[in-house]
């Protein structure tokens, strides 16, 4: 009888230990998303993942378990993670998110937003960026306040005088940003330089930071 009771007690201890191992504790750290996909959590459990696909890719983030979520899994930006074999309940990325927009990529880090967009200059040496979710001039604004706004050409030149410089020409309603690009133009036998508008079809990148 004593041996039987000992066996039952041992079985209960092992079962309890295994059950706890399947539920992450608050503050638990996973190496990768694949590791986190193996364990569901209690509602509002917050964990940290060091890397996305590998420890060295620096795509880690904090996640909270939402026991009622059935959101579509996002294995591109790792914003929503579904545990293998679990239909209801998702790991939801907190503090950070990555959203692909028609004109570029929007990064969110807490209240801070970073829009990285690209385009080409038009015949007037300008590029217009719609800082809206749907990439229209009348759409929902991404920023309530713009903190930093810059642009650069992405094609180089062997001639330093031909370097394309971009500046912010105008910002309308916090939504429509017009950038103007100029370049050096060598003239005359003495190599004097004048500044002219950049030609059309120059590839450019824009970076807007705000809240």
Tokens encoding 153: 């050409």
Q: Are residues 124 and 179 in the same domain?
A: yes
pLDDT of residue 8: 40
Q: Are residues 88 and 130 in the same domain?
A: no
Q: Does residue 17 form part of some domain?
A: no
Position 130 pLDDT exceeds 80: yes
The pLDDT mean for the chain works out to 83
What confidence tens digit (pLDDT) does each residue in 68-115 have?
Answer: 999 999 998 899 999 999 999 999 998 788 889 999 999 988 788 999
Domain boundary pick from 33, 59, 94: 94
The mean pLDDT of 19-35, rounded to a whole number, is: 73
pLDDT of residue 10: 37
**Segment (H or E) for 2:** helix 2-21
Number of domains forming the structure of the chain: 2
Contact 208, 201 (CB under 8 A): no
Q: Which of 9-13, 30-34, 147-151 has the lowest mean pLDDT?
A: 9-13
Q: Are residues 72 and 123 in the same domain?
A: no
* Domain CATH number, residue 102: 2.60.40.3940
The residues, any chain, with a CB within 8 Å of residue 190's CB and separated by 6 or more, are: none
How far CA 153 is from CA of 11, 108, 123, 180, in Å, comes to 67, 24, 15, 11
Segments forming the whole domain that contains residue 89: 23-94
- Tell me the pTM: 0.64
């Amino acid at each position: 009888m004593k041996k039987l009771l000992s066996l039952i007690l041992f079985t209960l201890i092992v079962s309890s230990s295994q059950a706890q191992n399947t539920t992450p504790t608050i503050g638990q750290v996973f190496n990768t998303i694949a590791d986190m996909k193996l364990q569901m959590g209690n509602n509002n459990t917050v964990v940290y993942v060091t890397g996305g696909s590998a420890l060295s890719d620096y795509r880690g983030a904090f996640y909270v378990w939402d026991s009622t979520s059935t959101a579509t899994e996002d294995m591109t930006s790792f914003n929503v993670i579904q545990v293998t074999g679990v239909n209801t309940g998702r790991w939801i990325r907190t503090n950070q998110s990555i959203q692909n927009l028609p004109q570029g990529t929007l990064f969110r880090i807490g209240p801070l937003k970073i829009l990285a967009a690209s385009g080409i200059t038009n015949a007037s040496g300008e590029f217009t960026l719609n800082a809206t979710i749907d990439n229209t001039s009348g759409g929902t604004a991404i920023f309530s306040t713009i903190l930093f706004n810059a642009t650069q050409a992405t094609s180089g030149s062997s001639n330093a005088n031909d370097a394309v410089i971009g500046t912010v020409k105008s910002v309308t309603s916090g939504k429509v940003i017009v950038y103007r690009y100029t370049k050096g133009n060598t003239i005359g036998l003495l190599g004097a330089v004048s500044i002219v508008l950049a030609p059309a079809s120059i590839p450019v990148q824009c970076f807007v930071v705000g809240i």
